[in-house]
Amino acid sequence: MARYVFLILFFISCSSTKEVNFDFKGYPQFIKGHSSPLMINIHSKNMKYEKVIAKVKESFSKKIVNDLEWVVHEEQLTPGRMYIEINLLNLEGQYDRPYWRANTEVKVTVIDHRNKDKINKKFKVFRGSSKVFGLSDESDKFLSLNKSWNIISKDIINFLSL
């Protein structure tokens, strides 16, 4: 009997997530060879991600230990600087009996103009998906979204650290 009570309490505590944390996994990183503040733009064309953008900015500023300058567009890039754009393309969770399926898609673009004679540009789209067994409860949706975000967050930081 005690075993069943423990299992019930375990599943209730696991599914009590109230929001997606959008933390970047791994150790704090320093992007090498850069003395000027990094120019950062985190955005989405989807207006419902406004609160998410604020959480991602907060988490990113804790993870990257360089000085950061928040900008709106890459047109503000000047020679000797590096520009990073994080575009939140998709952060969705859907209930499909009896699972919550979550998909996370983020495009990261890096424009490196530290060499005044040459501009290096690279980008990558990161995709994560997860499936969580549960009720049609919002907390299970957030748990699934957290898992899909965690799949890509460390990869994003590693991409920026190269």
Enter the pTM of the model: 0.81
How far apart are alpha carbons 49 and 43 in whole angstroms? Answer: 8
pLDDT at 103: 95
Which residues make Cβ contacts (< 8 Å) with residue 136, sequence separation at least 6? 95
How far apart are alpha carbons 110 and 82 in whole angstroms? Answer: 7
> Residue 13 carries which DSSP code?
H
pLDDT at 34: 64
Whether 128 contacts 101, CB under 8 Å: no
Residue range 2-161, CATH number: 3.30.160
pLDDT at 145: 92
Task: State which residues of the chain have pLDDT below 70.
Answer: 1-18, 26-28, 30, 32-35, 162
- The domain limits of the chain are 2-161
pLDDT at 33: 64
